Structure 1
């Protein structure tokens, strides 16, 4: 249970608004360096941009074209740190760039870019690139469009299959260092006095309670709300009257959409980084947990940030461009298993093409707008979250008139850090092999790392938790209980979309709802009424954010939703 009275009584050094990966990294870095930290998130952790990414830990090869060498070097360094400190969540992935005569980049231009990429990643543990001849490409990728093929480049980057769990582990480490982290806590006002924020008004959606947190003259506020940065700045008040912070927009968001499909004829064994033939935009076709993740688009977005959806044109665009690269695929709308879309919190930039806006992050100090203890993050990538956290914490110390001590996060492993040859894995397999399927044991260590041992321990006291949530998938009922008891999950969506990937692999999560509600009633004290509300909320979210509009019109999808509702009663 949350102790809101204790939070009200406590004086914090740093208050962070926004519980995506950059806010989480800031909370972790600050807490580990001895600062008292409060982080609040209006929804669930990682429910925004963090959850809607392409799930790559990459250096940003295309940023070289815009001469952003510092950003590429920073990203490549951070990629290496993640591969070392979170090997269960950040894994090497081979990328292939097919090169065509009609493309915007020649064979030699791409080769020069690959050489520079290797130079900038001089301290990497991954192999250097290699160039492939047209003959070699035909041997390795028989399904690639052969017309005017000039060869290919192959290199390695990183993949975060469970980006939401990466954010969660960072927050758990922050908690262990003393930070208070609260999801489902909305900031309703930033009270200003003089040139400072002096009080935050908060609404706890779990307890349905509104309260305030007072700031000392040393407290700093960090705005890592992603696309919602401007909305937070608009919450400024003086003496109960609106007093927004700043007058110019800071964020010029662009929308990125993805689709997920099952394996298809000619599907590649490695990730492809390809150029769309219709508009030249680069996009990815990435193997992901037995499926393929395809995206992304890059469109200006000014709509509702809480209801972002891949529209039918975007889905058709990604299907069409994938079929052009892999003609044997013959992908259609019926092959789409899941879609998701999010907004990149890029700097506001009037008139620029979406793809040319810098991906480098900006720490915006609001002293110039009359508030000296507030800083906002503009931009920020999944890959560079740790660096953002370090920079934010350095700023916090400087604002407090203190010299920042060294950050420990460059070398500190995340809580689940474990290597495949760790004897704990073999011991757990031996202990649970007669109760838990081998595929589930492997899945748990891939997803939770060392924390899988705590998930498995739940089976000792409740053998029924070794049952699968959905037949044919490796997720166990124990994961749902662990999510609620240990990982601050409060809703079915928290479990299906962010503690597991069931929403993306089990018919939008609908197939998982009967087993989940049964388990949560039995082991976590959920009432039947709560389960009914959660099921309805799950359906509503999927319809508004993930199920394509064309699919919502189909009788099959409607029947599926009705069947799930009936089975869960």
Structure 2
């Protein structure tokens, strides 16, 4: 039906030497693939699970300018974050919206009004060009001050004792980070890259250079759907596996000269705590912070930052982190408004931070580092030529990370013969689904409404708005499916007290046939919003699995296994709620 799609055709890797092979399909790997392919390199990427399934989806749903980095005087990182926030917003305006965040200020607060005011003045100065070339609906105001009386009137749930007022500053909110990662993946495919999810790196085949240094001759990968193994050959290999960086280095027999500082962060997705469209950030009595942000009709509450020493494969929400956020909310807000039964999802991820020797992971820098394993050791025999790892980084600056990694690769001798054919980097590069770099998503929605009226089978306004937000210009592919089969306009989940996204069956077809969804988990938790905002009902999971089975050929045993795996995921994620005490 549609030409651009994510497919898993391993025949296209045979008898082929790629310029760049990337291990890891989070936003870091996908950003590198997009940049490399857009500049004319032949690129292949493998991901052992699904695109953006782990750290890239466990975000605070913000594309932020790095305000908190001012605390550590990282002015360069703040400036970079502000510039990249603007570029990501311009490139993907359908998946981004403006969000004001209010910080109530109280008498006796550890971080007082003067300190905050000074920080915001510096922040605004560094963000002098934040609205350059930006559509009107994504232009961010300067910070402002709201009186105590006005704040209490607007948000009665904010504690009023000793309240002086609140500062408001503005960021971009990512309305569906999982789809934004997917759009970047599709953008890499549009530029010519091959991307394979559910494909695990098994081992490297190593060779020797004349100077005694080692090189990677090939990567042996396993298609986890079929069980078949395939050989990937490339001039340069990039380890973009995030928290698994050290494990991938181990497969190359490399003792890393650098290591990660891993920390977990969790968020709650809850029924709405406040009836307003701004976020709130509070300082707690013990010097901590937490935020409550409106997101997709829910409240997103976070965030923890706790060291983690275990395997990323074993991570689940830890009881002490869940209790920390829960107590922060109920000890700060009057009436202890948060109850366990209000929490619909607990999202956990691991930050793969650059190890810096800081006492806490919160103090660790969010800068990214690029490690060339051919030059990090004292002798050539210890190095691995044509092998690069990436550590650190964050969603907002992922485009810049991709750019810098590709620049590093282009200086390597392994790609010397390719430099004359390389295109210049383009910062104004819209993602697949974008209505145009710097163009207004609000204006495009109005256009989409007008066009949808002439459809053979028009959809409801709420459904259309959800589709345009999730798919941008590619929402027409969903409408085409509905025109061919109007039964595909049926809702995936019933109203569910107004908390269910307005998603339809045609999106399942799109996920499987055009977006490389291989499992029920891929569909529920990343292609759709449904599984991110909370655990779907058993009835809904059965409906999605049955519909998917008709498209994939799953037998009854496979269908039941897919449902069991999703149910088990939510059971483990929500297990700590059983032990919460009011």
Same fold (TM over 0.5): yes
2:338 is matched with 331
- TM superposition shift of 1:456: 1.5
1:171 is matched with 185
- TM superposition shift of 1:26: 0.7
Looking at structure 1, the residues matched to 546 and 219 of structure 2 have their Cα atoms a distance apart, in angstroms, of: 39
Residue 430, structure 1, aligned to residue 432, structure 2: no
SS at match of 2:93: coil
Structure 2, unaligned stretches of length 5 or more? Answer: 1-6, 132-139, 378-382, 436-440
- TM superposition shift of 1:453: 0.7
Q: Provide closer, same or farther for how the CA distance between residues 213 and 523 of structure 1 changes in structure 2, counting only shifts above 3 A.
A: closer
1:263 is matched with 272
2:576 is matched with 549
- TM superposition shift of 1:552: 9.4
1:212 is matched with 231
Contact 2:101 2:280 in 1 (8 A): yes
Structure 1, unaligned stretches of length 5 or more? Answer: 237-243, 554-569
SS at match of 2:312: coil
Looking at structure 1, the residues matched to 425 and 261 of structure 2 have their Cα atoms a distance apart, in angstroms, of: 31
| CA displacement 1:145-195 (0-9 Å, x = unmatched) | 122223211111011121111110011011111100000111111233233
Contact 1:57 1:158 in 2 (8 A): yes
Q: How does 1:516-555 map to 2 (within 5 A)?
A: 516-544=544-572, 546-551=573-578
Residue 498, structure 1, aligned to residue 526, structure 2: yes
Contact 1:272 1:285 in 2 (8 A): yes
Alignment equivalent of 1:465, drawn from 477, 480, 488: 488
- TM superposition shift of 1:500: 0.9
| Aligned CA-pair RMSD | 2.1
2:146 is matched with 132
TM-score (normalised: structure 1):
0.91
Q: How does 1:35-74 map to 2 (within 5 A)?
A: 35-74=41-80
2:433 is matched with 416
Q: Provide closer, same or farther for how the CA distance between residues 511 and 270 of structure 1 changes in structure 2, counting only shifts above 3 A.
A: farther
Residue 197, structure 1, aligned to residue 216, structure 2: yes
Looking at structure 1, the residues matched to 450 and 515 of structure 2 have their Cα atoms a distance apart, in angstroms, of: 24
SS at match of 2:448: helix
2:137 is matched with none
Looking at structure 1, the residues matched to 532 and 182 of structure 2 have their Cα atoms a distance apart, in angstroms, of: 18
Q: Provide closer, same or farther for how the CA distance between residues 160 and 509 of structure 1 changes in structure 2, counting only shifts above 3 A.
A: farther
Q: Provide closer, same or farther for how the CA distance between residues 312 and 432 of structure 1 changes in structure 2, counting only shifts above 3 A.
A: farther
1:560 is matched with none
SS at match of 1:293: strand
2:366 is matched with 359
Looking at structure 2, the residues matched to 141 and 438 of structure 1 have their Cα atoms a distance apart, in angstroms, of: 30
Q: Greater CA deviation, 138-147 or 219-228?
A: 138-147
Contact 2:179 2:526 in 1 (8 A): yes
SS at match of 2:168: strand
SS at match of 1:234: helix
TM-score (normalised: structure 2):
0.89
Looking at structure 2, the residues matched to 92 and 63 of structure 1 have their Cα atoms a distance apart, in angstroms, of: 21
Greater relative CO (CA pairs within 8 A, separation 6+): 2
| CA displacement 1:280-304 (0-9 Å, x = unmatched) | 2233211010000101100000123
Residue 451, structure 1, aligned to residue 460, structure 2: no
2:380 is matched with none
Contact 1:31 1:37 in 2 (8 A): yes
- TM superposition shift of 1:434: 5.5
Q: Provide closer, same or farther for how the CA distance between residues 308 and 511 of structure 1 changes in structure 2, counting only shifts above 3 A.
A: farther
1:383 is matched with 396
1:253 is matched with 262
Structure 1 ranges of 4+ moved more than 6 A: none
2:89 is matched with 83
2:248 is matched with 232
2:4 is matched with none
| CA displacement 1:315-365 (0-9 Å, x = unmatched) | 222122123333145212222111011100001244521210111111112
Contact 2:280 2:292 in 1 (8 A): yes
SS at match of 1:507: coil
SS at match of 2:329: helix
- TM superposition shift of 1:307: 3.0
Contact 2:512 2:551 in 1 (8 A): no
SS at match of 1:431: coil
Q: Provide closer, same or farther for how the CA distance between residues 509 and 9 of structure 1 changes in structure 2, counting only shifts above 3 A.
A: farther
| CA displacement 1:119-168 (0-9 Å, x = unmatched) | 11111121111122333333333221122223211111011121111110
Q: Greater CA deviation, 300-309 or 516-525?
A: 516-525
| CA displacement 1:96-123 (0-9 Å, x = unmatched) | 1112233321101101111111111111
SS at match of 1:362: strand
Looking at structure 2, the residues matched to 406 and 274 of structure 1 have their Cα atoms a distance apart, in angstroms, of: 44
2:136 is matched with none
1:10 is matched with 16
Looking at structure 2, the residues matched to 329 and 416 of structure 1 have their Cα atoms a distance apart, in angstroms, of: 42
2:160 is matched with 146
Contact 2:264 2:348 in 1 (8 A): yes
- TM superposition shift of 1:230: 0.6
- TM superposition shift of 1:309: 1.9
Q: Greater CA deviation, 281-290 or 160-169?
A: 281-290
SS at match of 1:390: helix
- TM superposition shift of 1:212: 1.6
SS at match of 2:347: strand
SS at match of 1:548: helix
Contact 2:146 2:166 in 1 (8 A): yes
Looking at structure 2, the residues matched to 549 and 156 of structure 1 have their Cα atoms a distance apart, in angstroms, of: 33
Q: Provide closer, same or farther for how the CA distance between residues 481 and 222 of structure 1 changes in structure 2, counting only shifts above 3 A.
A: same
Looking at structure 2, the residues matched to 262 and 193 of structure 1 have their Cα atoms a distance apart, in angstroms, of: 56
SS at match of 1:323: helix
- TM superposition shift of 1:435: 4.4
1:476 is matched with 504
